Structure 1
Amino acid sequence: MKRTLIIAHRGARSLAPENTMAAARKALELGADLWETDVGVSSDGVLILFHDDSLKRTTNAAEVYPDRAPWTFTEFTFAEIERLDAGSWFNRDDPFGQIAAGRVSAAEQRSFEGLKVPTVEEALAFTRENGWAVNIELKRLPPPLEGFPVVTRFFEVMDRVGIAPEQVRLSSFEHRWLEEARALRPEVEVQALVGFHRDRPIDWDAVAGYETVNARATLTPPEKVRELVAAGKRVNLFTVNDPDEARAYLEAGVTGLFTDFPQDLLPLVR
């Protein structure tokens, strides 16, 4: 039986600022099987790693551009985004309490100051050079870039970097993009994200045509995982941070676990 994959969610984001190269490097250093990151797009069409619609939480955009609230990333050029510090907030906020717990060294904290928002090109190059793998989430883009051709642009970047298709998985809640990706590049694995709404049951029939589903853990109990795996599906769950919860899913035969704490879940699968 294949071992469950430990997937570092936005990199090892409990130990380094999410969706930065520092978080990717940390996840690699810990031994995560692959990392997951999110694609955003600047107003001039550069693909970047970014999760929220607003730059506010994980950069100093509010200080650098005080008059541009709500700081939606699609309204900033890449040159403007490059001016931002995407790391210092982590030291200030300690989002997962790992600095307080003594798990992030003073030297590491210093290295986070002034980190840049990376490009997708940098992320893919890093993954290729390290013989690693990445799960790329194509997120719904906020206005005015709702119609941006993100799938074709992503494949252009992939080609430029020369990363092997087997090093990349594409995931999205926008299943039409996955269909487009499958038609353009059948050699790149696509994974259907389900469970966008925390309070609505998952419509499993809607993703019957996908071999791999990435599902919200709180909506997918271990017995459902067992049933799906028995039916031949690959099931990755987001986001599982608690080791006891992880153990229950491991016993159910889950394919992979997206986690903010690869440092705590990796020992369970080894």
Structure 2
Amino acid sequence: MSPESTGPIASWADLDTAPAPRWIAHRGGRWMGPENTLEAYRMAVELGIDAIEIDVYRLPDGGLVVMHDSTATRTSNLTGPTGNLTTPAALRGRVDAGNWFCSTWPNDLRIPLFAEVLAEISGQVPLVVHCNNIGSGAAAVEAVQRHERAGAVLIMAWNEAELTPARAAGIPTILLDEDGTLPAGQTYAGLLAAGTQYIGLNPAKTPPAAIEAAAAAGLRVIVYTVNRRSDYAALPLASVWAVISDDPWYVRAAGPMRTRDAFAAQTWFHGMLGIVSGRDDRGFFQPVGWHGLDTSGSLHADNGGYLGVLQGYLGPLPESFTLDFDCVLEAADSSGASLQLALTVGDGEYDDDVDTTGGSRQPGYNILLRSSGVIDVYRTSYGTAPAVKVGSVATPALTPGATTHLKVQMTPATICVSRAGVTPNTVTVNDSTYRGGMYPHLGARDVRARWGNLIVT
């Protein structure tokens, strides 16, 4: 029996009766699984997502391939413009996820065709179908009708021309708008009159008042792409119909906080988010149970030799806690190079700028274990104000390849950092500036390092 003939068909209209906001997995949840693959979509279904957003391109031979970029290079072993592929070429190609997503994933995942996704996935959860090139809107509608999935999809595009066929077919549509400023002559009332009930807005560029105005006009507002809890908390939620996220399971904070890492799974877990200037580099995994970052040599020189990854699944941390972890310095560019643990108020992006005054520093503390063995503790604040060193101890130099155990104990009044098995080994800081609601970030400056056995008590 084929997948499209089994069970009830998911209904987009059913989401209207679901509690707000509805959660939509962007590209299938691209921080958790390799984007726009059947593997990512199956994961999203298994984890109980409300809907899945996918991207399609119409090919010259009439086929529809599922891929986000205008070129095939980043996510597959194919090259050239995505819209110039043929259906046989797409079937021949492979998603080389082990090269760009996570080294432990295979490089031979299938590039999905739209028909395959309709047949398997739309019968389980509704789809938001982002039509990316000329003619893709009409082709998507034809495929949806052929597979009898009109009630299971929402057609999305940046321009109304690609939405017109869906409107004519009675399929709901969403117009993407970057900042809430509609083109000249276009109004919210006009969109509704034309048959578009949904609008997609980027809250990073759209003022809350514009989100509220769109909702007040009668449009269902879907915001994109919200990946951090702090950004979600800043939304005018009463006006938000749905949230598109690369990791919606983390952002919506479903379930209890974990108390230890998930590195043994050897792939990404909820809330493992990198920094924007890291160009989607979130490091690597090593068996058994290690997560590593590499900024040695010229790697990430454009960001001062720093890379960091939020460990969101461990937060928010309580006012008092102990965080134990093992770490290994594999290579260092200098004695001052460091592996780091930042503890920030909220889960906003943390970019190390202990030695500079730029970047996107968040308030909290940053603990540096330098190659020389020196442990430095800094207090950081919003913006570009210099970090303040609040404690330091000189322990023996790190031996490349050797495992070091650190313990960080936070109480309402103190922060104590100790290194096991050496003397001297402890620095205690009397500082109570920030407490409660903190999130840990692992970071590396001019080193190749790895971490394991992160445990919160």
Answer whether TM exceeds 0.5 for this pair.
yes
Structure 1 counterpart of 2:214, one-letter code: L
- Deviation of 1:241 after TM superposition, in Å, equals 0.5
- Paired with 2:161 and 2:60, the residues of 1 have a C-alpha distance of 23
CA contact (8 A) 2:138 2:162 kept: no
What is the aligned partner in structure 1 of residue 351 from structure 2?
none
Structure 1 counterpart of 2:205, one-letter code: L
What is the aligned partner in structure 2 of residue 103 from structure 1?
none
CA contact (8 A) 1:225 1:252 kept: no
Structure with greater Cα Rg: 2
What is the aligned partner in structure 1 of residue 76 from structure 2?
59
- Normalised to the residue count of structure 1, the TM-score between the two structures is 0.77
What is the aligned partner in structure 1 of residue 89 from structure 2?
80
- Determine whether 1:135 maps to 2:128: yes
- Normalised to the residue count of structure 2, the TM-score between the two structures is 0.47
What is the aligned partner in structure 2 of residue 220 from structure 1?
206
- Paired with 1:233 and 1:43, the residues of 2 have a C-alpha distance of 34
Alignment of 1:16-95 (within 5 A): 16-62=33-79, 71-86=80-95, 88=96, 90-94=97-101
Instruction: Work out the number of aligned pairs and report it.
Output: 232
Question: Are residues 221 and 31 of structure 1, via their aligned partners in 2, closer, same or farther at CA, if it must alter by over 3 Å?
Answer: farther
- Paired with 2:60 and 2:245, the residues of 1 have a C-alpha distance of 30
CA contact (8 A) 1:202 1:219 kept: no
Between 1:246-255 and 1:11-20, the stretch displaced more is: 246-255
CA contact (8 A) 1:4 1:269 kept: no
- Deviation of 1:201 after TM superposition, in Å, equals 6.5
CA contact (8 A) 2:59 2:84 kept: yes
Question: Which structure is higher in strand share?
Answer: 2
- Deviation of 1:42 after TM superposition, in Å, equals 2.7
For 2:72, what is the secondary structure of its paired residue? coil
- Paired with 1:190 and 1:269, the residues of 2 have a C-alpha distance of 32
Question: Are residues 241 and 158 of structure 1, via their aligned partners in 2, closer, same or farther at CA, if it must alter by over 3 Å?
Answer: same
CA contact (8 A) 1:207 1:213 kept: no
What is the aligned partner in structure 1 of residue 167 from structure 2?
182
Tell me the alpha carbon deviations over residues 192-221 of structure 1, each in whole angstroms, 9 at most, x when there is no partner: 1111xxxx7622762512331011222223
- Paired with 1:201 and 1:190, the residues of 2 have a C-alpha distance of 17
CA contact (8 A) 1:32 1:266 kept: no
- Determine whether 1:13 maps to 2:16: no
**Unaligned stretches of 5+ residues in structure 1:** 63-70, 101-105, 142-148
- Determine whether 1:234 maps to 2:214: no
**Unaligned stretches of 5+ residues in structure 2:** 1-17, 257-457
What is the aligned partner in structure 1 of residue 250 from structure 2?
264
For 2:93, what is the secondary structure of its paired residue? coil
Tell me the alpha carbon deviations over residues 152-175 of structure 1, each in whole angstroms, 9 at most, x when there is no partner: 322221122222x22110011121
- Deviation of 1:223 after TM superposition, in Å, equals 3.3
Structure 1 vs Structure 2: percent identity of aligned residues?
Answer: 25
- Paired with 2:122 and 2:52, the residues of 1 have a C-alpha distance of 12
- Paired with 2:237 and 2:19, the residues of 1 have a C-alpha distance of 12
Structure 1 counterpart of 2:131, one-letter code: L
For 2:83, what is the secondary structure of its paired residue? helix
Tell me the alpha carbon deviations over residues 208-253 of structure 1, each in whole angstroms, 9 at most, x when there is no partner: 1233101122222333323332332210011110111112226343
Question: Are residues 45 and 242 of structure 1, via their aligned partners in 2, closer, same or farther at CA, if it must alter by over 3 Å?
Answer: same
Could you say what the CA RMSD is over the residues aligned between the two structures, in angstroms? 2.5
Question: Which structure is higher in helix share?
Answer: 1
- Paired with 1:61 and 1:224, the residues of 2 have a C-alpha distance of 40
- Paired with 2:34 and 2:246, the residues of 1 have a C-alpha distance of 11
